[in-house]
Structure 1
Amino acid sequence: MDRRAFLKLGGAGAIAAGTGYAWGQSAARQLPLIPMTDLTAGIEGRIALNLQSAQHDFGTGASSATFGINNSYLGPVLRVKQGQVLPFDVMNSIGDVTTIHWHGLHIPGDVDGGPHQEIEDGATWSPDVPIVQGASMNWFHSHMHGKTAQQTYTGLAGVLLIEDEGSLAADLPKTYGVDDFTLVLQDKMFDASGRMSYSLTGDTIEEGFQGDTLVVNGAIAPVAQDVPTGLVRLRLLNACNARFLELSMATGPITVIASDGGFLSSPVEVESIVMSPGERYEILVDMAAVESNALTVNLNGGDVGFFASLFGGNQSTVALHLNRTAQAGFTGAMPNRLAVLEPPKRSEATVTRSFQLDMDLGADLTALALAWDNVCGDAGAMAINGQPMKMDRIDEKVTKGTTEIWRITADEQQHPFHVHGCSFRILQQEGGAAPAYAQGWKDMVHVGEGWSEILVRFDHAAPADAPFMYHCHILEHEDCGMMGQFTVT
C-alpha cells in the first residue's frame, strides 16, 4: 500500500471518527425531483440554459452560495430524442468565465464544450448540438480549465437523457417522477453553520476533494419516495468530484440495465456496483416483491481492505428509501433482452496508444493550494505521459473513421479516465475483465494497477482549435494537469 492509498484510508478514518455525516438526517425527507424539460415531441425556438449564482439550502437550515442552471442548484434534466439538433443558448451569469461540456455525447469538437469554448461572464454561447447516438444517460458540466472542480462542485451540472425509437417503445418504466427517477449523487462538506464549503489543500489536490455528507439531487441523504407497485427505474449519476461510490440495495440484488453509453444486452444482477466520478448506470427495482427497499451508498467505493477496516472503511449510508403504495404501477416484467451488443473485436483496431497517468511531478501541492485560491492555477502539478496539460499543445492526432486501442495505466492511486466525443468498449480494466455491468458502451474506465484497455472508434471531427480532451475525471487532478488534447481529422 502506497502513501496516497494510506492517506485516503486515513481520510475515511476521520469520517468514521465522527466529523463525517455531521449533517446526515435521521429522518428521510422527500426526494427532490430535478425539473425536467421534455423535448422528445419537438423543439420550439432555442433552448435557454442560464448559468447563475444563487442560494440553496441542502437541508441544514442555512443557505449556501451555489451555482445553478435554470435552478438555484444543478441544472434541469433534458429529455431529447435521437436525430434532433439541440439549439442551445448558454448564458453565463456566474461572475466568472466558464464552459459547459456535453459529457457522453458523440459530437464534433467545436460544440463539445471543452476548455476551448470559453463563455465570458455576461456572454452567451449558442451551439447547435446534434444528437446522433442511441438511448443513453449523459450529463453536462463545467469544463473550465483550472476551475472545473470548483465550478462543478458549486452546481454547474445537469443531466441529458437521450431516447430513441427503441427506448420509447421498450417495455420499461418511463413515467418521470412516478416510476422513473434521475438521481444525482454527490458528496459535500458543510461548515459549522451548515453552509457548503470547498477548499483545497495539498492533500485534497492529491486525493481529490472528498466531502463527508452524501447529497441526492441537492438534498442531504437519506431521501424518500413513495412509488407504485411494480418495477421502478433509477437513473444514477456519480457527480462527485473524486469519490468512487459503491451502490447496493438493502433487499435483493441490484439489477443493472444500462451503462454510460446505453442499454446492456440483458439485465445484470449483482450484489453491488462501483461507480467512479462521471459514471452513469440505470437500474430496475422490483417494488411488487417488497413493501420497501433502500438504495445504499458506501462512500469509500468498496475499499474495505485491512487498513480501511482499521479506520472504519465501510461507510455505508442510505441514499434513497423506496416505499410501496397501493397504487398500481408499471405492470411489465423484468426484461430478458435489452440491446444487441456484439463482442468488441480487437482486430478492428489499426492503432494502439499508451497513456500513463502521472501523480507526482515534484510540485509542492500545499504551496499550490495556498497560491491559487481553490483552483489549480497553471495546472502543472500532474500529467499524462509526463506532460502536464497545455492549452496550446496537441498531444495526439487521430484519423477520423478509424478504430484504436487505448491502453491506460497509473503510477499511483485509482483514477476514472474519460474520452470526449465518443463511446468505447472496455477490453480490460485494471489488468482484468471489467464487471459484467461495465461491458456495454462506456465513456469512463477505471484505471489503477495493471493496464486498462479500451476499443474506441472516432467518427467526429475535432480540429486543432477545438480539440477533444482525454483526462482523469477526478476533477482536481484534471484541473492540475492530468489531461491531454487530441484532434480527429
Structure 2
Amino acid sequence: MNRRRFLKASGAGVAMAGAGMGWAQTGARPLPVLAMTDLTGGIEGRIALGLAPATHDFGNGAASATYGINSSYLGPVLRVKQGQTLPFDVSNGLADPTTLHWHGLHIPGPVDGGPHQEIAPGQTWSPDVPIQQRASMNWFHSHTHGRTAQQTYKGLAGVMLIEDDASLSADLPRSYGVDDFTLVLQDKLFDGAGRMRYEVSGEVFEDGFQGDTLVVNGAIAPLAQTVPRGLVRLRILNACNARFLTLSMAEGPVQVIASDGGFLAARVEADSILMSPGERYEILVDLRRAASNSLNVSFGEGGGFLAGLFGGAETAALTLNSNAEPGLDAALPDALANLAPPEPSAARVTRSFALEMDTGADLAALAANWGNFCGGGAMAINGQPMKMDRIDEAVRRGDTEIWRISVDDMLHPFHIHGGSFRILSQNGAPPPAYAQGWKDMVHVEDGWSEVMMRFDHEAPADAPYMYHCHILEHEDCGMMGQFTVT
C-alpha cells in the first residue's frame, strides 16, 4: 500500500470512527421500503417519471435540499419483464439540464440516456426502452455532462428489476417488502444542523466525494427490518459517488446469487464482497434457524485493515429480525444460470484504455472548454478528456472485443454502456468468484483489468455510448470517452 492509498484509507477509517458516526443512531430505525411500480403484469399508458427539487429528512430531523424522481428523494423501484417495451415520459422539473441513463440495460444508443439525450428545464424526454436481456438488477441515474456527480448525489437515482420466466419460476424470495428487499447504499455528509451537503475541492476532484455517514434507502443507518422465518433476498446497489464498500454478514458468509448482469452460474459463499460505485449484487440470508443477522458495511477498500487500525470502521447497516410467521423454506440454490466460461478466442479486436488522473495545465484548459467540470484540472482516457463532439472508438455491431484498462493511480471502477461483459482479469488476476458472472463494472488498480464484451445494439455518432470511470467526480472531470456501434 503506497503512501497515497494509506492516507486515503486512513481518512476513510477516521470518518467512520469519528464525527460522521455522530449522525448514526444508537438504536436502529425501520428500513424504508422504496416505492415499487410493478409492470410485469402489463403496461397501461406511458410511464411518467418526474424529476424535481424537494426536501427530505434522512432521519436526523433536518430538512435537506434534495432531488427526487416521483418522490422527495431517489426514485421508485421499477419491476419489469423481459420482452416488454417501456414507454417513458421523463420530465425535467429542475432549474438545470439533466438526463436519465439506464445503467446496465442492453439498449440502443438513442435511448441510453447518456449526455447526448439531455433534457432541458421544463421539457420531457419520451424514449421507448426495449427490455431484451436476462433477469437482473439495474438502475437509472443522472448522466449530465459535467453535472452527473452533484445531481446523482442529491437524489436522481432509482432501481430497475428485470424479471424473466426463469426468475419468476425460481424458488427464491420475491415478495417485495416482505422477504425481498432493494437496498440503495450511499455515503453522505451532513452539516452541524443535520442538512445534507455537497462541496467540491481539489481533494474531492482527486478522490471523488466521500461522505462520513452511511445511508440506506434515504435513511441514516443503522436500520432494522422484521421478516418471516425463512430465506430473505437482498438486492444491493452501491449508489455512492466514489466510495468502495466492503459488505459482510455478522454471522456466517455472504451468500451471493447474482451480480450486475444477472444470476451467477452457482451460489458463491464469500467472507466479504467489495462493491464499487455503480455495482450491484444480490444475496440470500437464511433466517430459518437464526433469530437475526446483520448486513455489515465498511467504508474504504479494506474493512479489516481499517477496523484493525482505527476501530469502529464497520457498521451494521441493516439488521434482519425473524418473527413467528413462516417464510420461504427452500434449499439454498446450488445451480442458478447456464454460464459457459468466457472464450477469449472469440474476440476479433483488442483495445487498450489508460485512465489518467494527472494531465497537466494544457489539457486542463481544453477540458474546461469542452464542458468538463474539474476545478481547473483535468482527467483523461488515452490522453484525451471527454469531448461531446469527438468519437473515440468505432465498434462493429455483432463483434466480440477484449478491452484492457489500466490506471496511473488509485482504485477506479470502470463502466461500459450498452451491454454486459465477462471479466477475464481484474488487477492482473482472476476476478473473485462472485464477480465471474455478467457484469458492467470492473475494478482497475494494479496491472491490467480485461473484459470481454459482445456489442449487439447500435449507437450512431449522434447518440454514442460512453465508457468511463464511475467515480462520478472523475467522470465529470473528463475521465470518459465515447464509442459508436454500427
TM-score, structure 1 as length reference: 0.96
* Residue number among 309, 320, 323 corresponding to 1:322 in the alignment: 320
| Residues 268-291 of structure 1 deviation map (CA, whole Å, 9 limit, x = unaligned) | 001100000000000000010210
Tell me the secondary structure at the aligned position of residue 188 of structure 2.
strand
Q: How does 1:143-154 map to 2 (within 5 A)?
A: 143-154=143-154
Q: Is the partner of 2:115 in helix, strand or coil?
A: coil
- The one-letter code sitting in structure 2 at the alignment partner of 1:470 is Y
The one-character-per-residue Cα deviations of 1:211-270 (angstroms, maximum 9, x if unpaired) are 000000000001100000110000000000000000000011100000000000110001
Equivalence for 1:386: 383
1:127 corresponds to: 127
In structure 2, what is the Cα distance between the partners aligned to 1:70 and 1:132?
Answer: 25
Count of aligned pairs? 483
Deviation track 1:386-418 (CA, whole Å, cap 9, x = no partner) reads 111111110000000000000001000000000
Give the equivalent residue in structure 1 for 2:116. Answer: 116
Q: Which residue number corresponds to residue 447 of structure 1? A: 444
Secondary structure at the aligned position of 2:152 is classed as helix
Query: Is the 8 Å Cα contact of residues 379 and 388 (structure 1) preserved in structure 2?
Result: no
> Cα 1:163–1:68, aligned 2, differ >3 Å: closer, same or farther?
same
Distance across 2 between alignment mates of 1:367 and 1:469? 22
Q: Give the secondary structure class of the aligned counterpart of 1:464.
A: coil
| Counterpart residue number, 1:410 | 407
Alignment partner of 2:475: what SS? helix
Residue in structure 2 matched with residue 341 of structure 1 by the alignment: 339
Cα distance change of structure 1 residues 164 and 157 upon mapping to structure 2, 3 Å threshold = same
2:356 counterpart residue number: 358
Tell me how far 1:331 sits from its aligned partner. Answer: 1.8
Give the 4+ runs in structure 1 shifted more than 4 A.
Answer: 308-311, 363-368, 377-380
CA distance in 1: counterparts of 2:365 and 2:151, whole angstroms: 21
Task: Kindly report the root-mean-square deviation, in angstroms, between the aligned alpha carbons of the 2 structures.
Answer: 2.0
CA spacing shift, 1:51–1:291, aligned 2, 3 Å: same
Tell me: CA distance 1:449–1:377, structure 2 relative to 1, closer, same or farther (3 Å): closer
Corresponding residue for 1:241? 241
State the partner residue of 2:459: 462
Structure 1 residue aligned with 2:44: 44
SS at match of 1:446: strand
What does residue 396 of structure 2 align with?
399
Partners of 1:377 and 1:261 in 2: how far apart? Answer: 31
1:462 and 1:488 in contact (8 A); partners too: yes
Length-normalised TM-score, structure 2:
0.96
2:201 maps to: 201
CA pair 440-17 structure 1, distance change in 2 beyond 3 A: closer
Q: Which whole-Å CA distance do the structure 2 matches of 1:297 and 1:146 have between them?
A: 30
Alignment pair present for 1:429 and 2:426: yes
Structure 1 counterpart of 2:90: 90
Match of 1:476 among 447, 462, 473: 473
Partner of 1:167: 167
1:18 Cα deviation (Å)? Answer: 2.1
Separation in structure 2 between the aligned mates of residue 453 and residue 113 of structure 1, nearest angstrom? 26
8 Å CA contact 2:287–2:322 kept in 1: the answer is yes
Does the CA contact (< 8 Å) of 2:16 and 2:212 recur in 1? no
Change (3 A) 1:357 1:28: same
Q: 1:17 to 1:168 in 2, by over 3 A?
A: closer
> Could you tell me whether the CA contact under 8 Å between 1:383 and 1:482 is conserved in 2?
yes
- C-alpha displacement at 1:348, in angstroms? 0.3
**Partner of 2:416 in structure 1?**
419
- CA separation in 2, counterparts of 1:458 and 1:16? 41
Q: 1:12–1:312: 8 Å Cα contact kept in structure 2?
A: no
1:405–1:129 CA distance, 2 compared to 1 (3 A): same
The answer to whether the 8 Å contact 2:425/2:451 transfers is yes
Task: Report the secondary structure of 2:21's partner residue.
Answer: coil
Instruction: Quote the Cα distance in structure 1 between the aligned partners of 2:240 and 2:25.
Output: 20
| 1:70-124 superposed Cα distances (whole Å, 9 cap, x missing partner) | 0100000000000000000000002110000000000000000000000001000
Whole-Å Cα distance in 2 between the matches of residues 197 and 363 of structure 1? 29
How far apart, CA to CA, are the structure 2 residues paired with 1:240 and 1:367? Answer: 28
Query: 2:59 maps to which residue?
Result: 59
> Does the CA contact (< 8 Å) of 1:74 and 1:158 recur in 2?
yes
2:297 corresponds to: 297
- Structure 1 letter corresponding to 2:456: D
Asked whether 1:232 is paired with 2:229, we answer: no
The verdict on how the C-alpha distance between 1:61 and 1:365 changes in structure 2, with shifts beyond 3 A counting, is: farther
Percent of aligned positions with the same letter in both sequences? 70
Check the 8 A contact 1:415/1:446 in 2, yes or no: yes
Q: Helix, strand or coil for the counterpart of 1:133? A: coil
Counterpart of 1:230 in structure 2: which amino acid? Answer: G
Give 5+ residue unaligned stretches, structure 1: none
SS in 2 for 1:22: helix
Residues 265/16 of structure 1: CA separation in 2 closer, same or farther (3 Å cut): closer
Shift of 1:3: 5.0
Aligned to 1:289, what secondary structure does the other structure show? coil
* Cα pair 1:179 1:227 within 8 Å, conserved: yes
How far the C-alpha of 1:9 sits from its partner, in A, is 2.4
